[in-house]
Amino acid sequence: MSLLGEDVMTEDGEFVINMGPQHPSTHGVLHLKVWLDGEIIKKVQPHLGYIHRSIEKMSENLSYRNFIFATSRMDYLSAHMNNEACALTVEKGLAVEVPARAKVIRTLMAELTRLSSHQLWWGCTGLDLGAVTPFFYAFREREAINGIMEETCGARLTQNYMVPGGVMFDLHPNFQARTKEVIKQIKDKFDEYDQLLTGNVIFEQRTKGVGYISKEDAVSWGCTGPMARASGVSCDIRKLFPYSAYDQVKFEEILDTGGDCYARYMVRMAEMKQSVSIIEQLIDTIPEGEFQAKTKAVIKLPKGEFYQRVETARGELGVYIVSDGAASPYRVKYRSPNFSNLSALPHMSKGAKIGDLVAIMATIDLVIPDVDR
Amino acid sequence: MFLKEYFSTVFKSIGSLLKGMRLTGYYFTHPKEIVTEQYPDNRATLKMADRFRGEVIMPHDELNEHRCTGCQACEIACPNGSIKIITQQELQPDGKKKKRIDTWVYHLDLCTMCNLCIEACPTTAIVMGQNFEHSVFDKKQLKKILNKPGSKLKDGVE
Amino acid sequence: MVIVGLCLLGFLVVLSFILGYMERKVAAFMQIRLGPNRVGPKGTLQIIADTIKLLFKEGLTPKASDKFLFNLAPFIMVITSMLVVAPLAFAKNFQIWDINIGVLYVSAISSMAVIGILMAGWSSYNKYSLLGAMRSGAQIVSYELSIGLSLITIVILTGSLKLSDIVMSQAGGWWIFKGHIPAIIAFVIFIVASTAEINRAPFDLAEAESELTAGFHTEYSGMKFAMFLLSEYINLFVVSAVAATLFLGGWMPLHIGSLHGFNHVMDYIPSSVWFFGKTFFVIFVIMWFRWTFPRLRVDQLLNLEWKYLLPISMFNLLLMTAIAILGWHF
């Protein structure tokens, strides 16, 4: 029995399998050690660190203008929101007022990113549950959003569009028309999503009552984002601590009380519709003016500590900067949503089946580089 | 009562499954909806967005002149150290010595296309190119020298 | 006999090429893609290129595996699936082996496939393989029941287990039309249960790639892996051919009551075209399932069988018996 590792079978007769770091369902290099009794999961232990790139330490050696780009590589599906969080923190330190146009542009971009991120999540959820086709439908719409990003920001995934004081370039002249067109196209496709997965009896069976987490547990594990909101925890940073242009728009904070995979699924589906409505409210009323506030070439933050949080597609991202007055931060700490959300996985998957574990991981919407950073 | 529930579950389930099949069936019978781009074949018509960031390039005009003064602002702005500028003192016609670039080394393998160098450049000597086909067989080829041999600074650019 | 066997072997390999190509194209069109389109015209030679690649790949045998069983398993899979082809009637008067217990033979041999899967999963010495094999064991044993019951509904109507008799009995109309609603129910149950028995999505728990990487054939590579694929496609063909023979009239042309002109036109279409047309229709439906639905969980799979398919097919069988006795069918 030595080849399979010493703990192929524990003393209680439990079967130990290692899901990952190379496994089709772990969305990256997450390593889950799973103790099984037949098909039933006794214990799950996530092992992290396979894609640790020490982004926090790197940031200490980069200037305030430069360190933002690295955060695109944390949660690469909400790169805009990560960059925005850093930019907001630096602006807080500098006490710079961001022009109204830049605020609206940031909000629009963040919501487009949230839409595309949720679309990718929708496709991957289907893929994890064994339906391959949703993946391609999701990518079709995501591609349209990526096209907008490419046109205005110059890149599709790691845009690096946010700079301290505003945004790097002005919007592309085509932006408004193209966004409207894409939004219209996406709205038409929501029906297809419902036909293919939401109403499907197999999908409902696979997700309803699976991976339950109560409101109290969600709070005590530090879950945020759609995952906590599916358990009834009101934690939308956009609503509670509005930043950028979120105080100018009307939108609902989606809450569900189910706490299971299906509730998390429904929360994200409803959030997509909210994002569409936010974009529709802002797209016609982008204020004219500067897109970037004037900042010094070498930014130096005053001595002190600065914290800013934003709502990314997966939950609350906090950026904490300690400055000693130099041109680069003394210490940077990211409070990433995925790390806390993942920590609830062992609790949620106790007593579930292997197939459920995959469904739970899919609905947590894990992005492993964000966990390891 | 039990039977009624039982059969309603069965029919509802079959109905929901047929809904999904109708959608995939629709796409199967409508090949016009296919979104595949035949990438290497459509090279001729493929147009990248005008702001697309593929690589850093240094435009030279027809007189083989560039606009880089060798101020090294881009080198400082680069977060990854993908830019290395080697300068030299060049004797000017008026007898003064001035700093001019000798080689502008660009490490494409380190570059993340973050656009910070372009933003930092005071003379717009460098811009982002549209080429995105960077694969080579040897890593050494990714180290590029952007100023062309024999090129010099355009007059009037300071 | 040997020549017939060799011809059949060649036919099945070509058939699995066609099915492999068809599957990839069907999947692609449902997923708004183009599918293979580089090798040969419209990508038709892609499968041949893949086969050549698999032939030249190293057939790795894990160090700790049970080498004899590990190498035997793919052959068992292919042999069992090929055996079932023997009693099928491909066209009018073209049947390799018209055995008088045809239906019984088909259902008996096809359930032997589980031995190959269990063997592969057990001998691989891999935890995922073992889990996959155990899942498929439970699955095939359960779904055998509803397959058997839905086959019996037709046997009751025909009064014979011989496949040629069953086809001849549908000269006036196919059983799916003549047998009222019970025949339709039996047909649906047969399609669902046989999809499960040949381990295809949404019942592909034995290989469930997002859970068990590749299930029972995780450790196989090269030509041994290709043999699993070959057996999957032959199974797919066999199951669809059986469904076409029993419910859709085999090679019988479509006849509608007393519309003699119409019936006459239908007779001009060769019988083999009818057989393959129907078979490929059923194959398409099974592929359609695969590219639409999410996968079931292992307990839900068994629930579906024991709580839904089996009771319904038992009741259906009762109904069909009553219809057969009272002579209500056409």
- The β-bridge relationship of strands B65-66 and B152-153 is parallel
- Establish, for the pair of chains A and B, how many residue pairs have beta carbons separated by less than 8 Å: 69
% of residues, chain B, pLDDT over 90: 1
The predicted structure's pLDDT at residue C325: 81
Q: What is the DSSP string of C177-203?
A: HHTHHHHHHHHHHHHHHHHHHTT-TTS
| CB-CB under 8 Å, C31 with B27 | yes
> What are the residues whose beta carbons fall under 8 Å from the beta carbon of C211, sequence distance 6 or more?
A25, A354, A355, A357, A358
Structure-token pair, residue C45: 């030679």
**Is the ipTM here above 0.90?**
no
Question: What is the secondary structure of A83-130 as a DSSP string?
Answer: HHHHHHHHHHHHTPPPPHHHHHHHHHHHHHHHHHHHHHHHHHHHHHTT
Q: Which two tokens stand for residue B129?
A: 């190119």
> How many C-beta atoms lie closer than 10 Å to residue C291's C-beta?
23
Q: What are the tokens at A152?
A: 């205005």
CA–CA distances in Å: residue C282 to residues B83, B139, C23: 62, 52, 13
- Check C297 against A203: CB less than 8 A apart: no
Overall residue count recorded for chain C in this entry: 330
Q: How far apart are alpha carbons C316 and C309 in whole angstroms?
A: 10
- Say which DSSP state A316 is in: E
Nearest to A138 by CA among A74, A82, A77, A84: A77
What are the beta bridge partners of residue B85? B104
The model's confidence at residue B50, banded by pLDDT at 50, 70 and 90, is confident
pLDDT at position A1 is: 38
Chains that touch B (3 or more CB pairs under 8 A): A, C
Q: Which chain A residue's Cα is nearest to C298?
A: A355
> According to the model, what pLDDT value does residue A2 have?
41
What is the arithmetic mean of pLDDT over A75-93?
88
Which residue's structure tokens are 């040997």? C2
Q: Which residue has the tokens 């929501």?
A: A190
pLDDT digits (tens, 9 = 90+) for A94-148: 888 888 888 888 888 889 999 999 999 998 888 888 888 888 888 888 888 888 8
For residues B17-25, average pLDDT: 86
Apex CA C199: angle with CA C203 and CA B36, to 5°?
A: 75
Quote the pLDDT of residue C329.
Answer: 66
Domain A55-372, architecture per CATH: Orthogonal Bundle (1.10)
C61: enclosing H helix or E strand: none
What tens digit of pLDDT does each residue of A40-59 get?
A: 888 888 888 888 888 888 88
Q: Please, which residues bridge with residue A16 across strands? A: A35
pLDDT tens-digit profile of A311-320? Answer: 888 888 889 9
Between CA A179 and CA A177 the distance in angstroms is 6
Chain A residues in contact with B79 by the CB 8 A cut-off are 62, 66-67, 69-70
CA distance B111 to B128: 12
Please give the structure tokens belonging to residue C205.
């728990």
- With beta carbons under 8 A apart, name residues in chain C contacting A21: none
- A150, A172, A200: residue with CB nearest B16: A200
Nearest chain B alpha carbon to A154: B52
Cβ neighbors of C230 (< 8 A, separation 6 or more) are C12, C13, C16, C78
**Chain A, nearest residue to C209 by Cα:** A24
Average pLDDT value for chain A: 85
The DSSP code sequence of A40-80 is EEEEEEEE--TT---HHHHHHTS-TTTTHHHHTTTSGGGHH
Interchain CB contact of C292 with B (< 8 Å)? yes
Q: Where are the domains of chain A?
A: 55-372
Angstrom distance (rounded) from CA A5 to CA A272: 44
